[in-house]
Structure 1
Amino acid sequence: MIEREGRDVRGDILGSARRLFLQDGYDRVSVDRVIQDAGASKGSFYHYFQSKADLADELVREMLAPVYRQIGEIAESNLDGLSKLNQAFRIAYQWKSDNAKMLKFIVRSFWSDSNLLVRHKMKSWSMKKDKALLAGMLGQGMEEGTFAIEDPEDVAELIVHLGTGIGESMAALFVSIDDSPDKIELMERKVKLFERTLDCILGVPKGTVKTFDMESLKVILAEGVI
């Protein structure tokens, strides 16, 4: 296949993959179909991506890039450490609310044993970025006397692991439970438990850290993510 000179082949492949994955599901879309839809050659595909799993990983990273860019801007702002932390959580859950269909694709595509490796790769990448951003906010809050912690790096790592565990627990609910009032109640309990745990770890009063807005969760549910 002859490709037009100067075109963004990588971007075209990612665009086709995003549309097809959302339309038909990750497991039902082959590399050949993505290539054909993008008007690219097989050689071009494997120049940019090692496999379909690698393509999906890059697609998710690009989708999350605006979130990390916004949080990075918050981290560099003149806000105090606690405000930065709560703003970062707000940006994250707002993205989930605004991108409910994409969240559905991520959860339902990769929370299965057959896609364990690609999920692990995505998780490792996001945890590394989360820890770096979080450590800076915690360090600032410690210096300001707001957070009663000793080592921001260690505490950031602990919080990231806790958050990842909560996220995976909620993802399991996303794909395994039918719509019901009990689902929202169960998720709300998990969120509140996580927030209380963070308050204790950081040595701040109960209700200080806000990680998720339950109204946003209801919006996500209404979009059929769960």
Structure 2
Amino acid sequence: MAPGGERPLPERLLAVATRLFAENGYEGTSVQEIVESAGVTKGAMYHYFAAKDDLLYEIYHRLLALQTERLRLFAAGAGPAEERLRAAAIDVIETSLAHLDEVTVFFRSMHLLPVEKQKAVRAERRRYHETFRTLVEEGQREGTFRAGVPADLAVNFFFGAVHQISTWWHPDGPLDAGSVGDYYVGLFLDGLRTDPDGSQG
């Protein structure tokens, strides 16, 4: 924290930009509105972020970096693959819902990033998905998950569902984040498990 407990300027700009992008849309928010809400000048903002799209990229990059670091810990942990995959899957849902504005803003606006930044984001997401996929493959080798289900398809199925949560879930709704995580992950793992007799289903 900055002196007096105030957020460092880059953090304050990102927080303000996230809120305004979520409320008004990325295209509906001007740099002037961001700096006025943050109580700084454009020059101060441009010291940290060269353009508005740098804010959009950084909003998602930071969330993905957080989730990637946590996923690596789950993947490298001890215990059966199913337990680690469950923990990782619940974590990605709970961290996404804890940062709902960031997720909402990004999936509404990713296509507005410059091509090079879109490529960078896709590369980061691909690395994340590959790590997640290794847990599915490990469970298949252990015989816990059906070997006939392509691991890539399972991962894309799960994340496709996760990315849709921001279109319908609200913190004040009937389901809290923990319940959503339990239901989604239960459905995901039920679809991967072998039958109780060890058959592939």
The two structures have a TM-score, normalised by structure 1, of 0.56
Which 5+ residue runs of structure 1 have no aligned equivalent? 1-6, 176-180, 182-186, 207-226
SS at match of 1:27: coil
Measured after TM superposition, the shift of residue 30 of structure 1 is 1.1
Which 5+ residue runs of structure 2 have no aligned equivalent? 1-6, 175-179, 197-201
Match of 1:205 among 189, 195, 200: 195
The equivalent of 2:139 in structure 1 is 141
CA-to-aligned-CA distance 1:115-165 (integer Å, 9 cap, x gap): 634499386245313322223313432443323438xxx944333333344
Measured after TM superposition, the shift of residue 90 of structure 1 is 0.9
| Alignment map for 1:1-226 (pairs within 5 Å) | 9-36=9-36, 37=38, 39-42=40-43, 45=46, 48-49=48-49, 51-106=51-106, 109-110=108-109, 116-118=111-113, 121=118, 124-125=122-123, 127-149=125-147, 155-167=150-162, 170=164, 174=168, 195=188, 198-199=191-192, 204-205=194-195
CA-to-aligned-CA distance 1:80-135 (integer Å, 9 cap, x gap): 1111111111112222443445444445x43xxxx634499386245313322223
Moved over 6 A (4+): none
How far, CA to CA, are the matches of 2:16 and 2:152 in structure 1? Answer: 36
Measured after TM superposition, the shift of residue 33 of structure 1 is 2.9
The equivalent of 1:215 in structure 2 is none
How far, CA to CA, are the matches of 2:72 and 2:97 in structure 1? Answer: 20
The equivalent of 1:3 in structure 2 is none
Structure 2 contact 59–102 (Cα < 8 Å) conserved? no
How far, CA to CA, are the matches of 1:44 and 1:11 in structure 2? Answer: 11
SS at match of 2:27: helix
Letter matched to residue 116 of structure 1: H
Question: What is the Cα-based RMSD across aligned positions, in Å?
Answer: 4.3
CA-to-aligned-CA distance 1:158-205 (integer Å, 9 cap, x gap): 33333344456x369549xxxxx9xxxxx9xxx69x737842xxx623
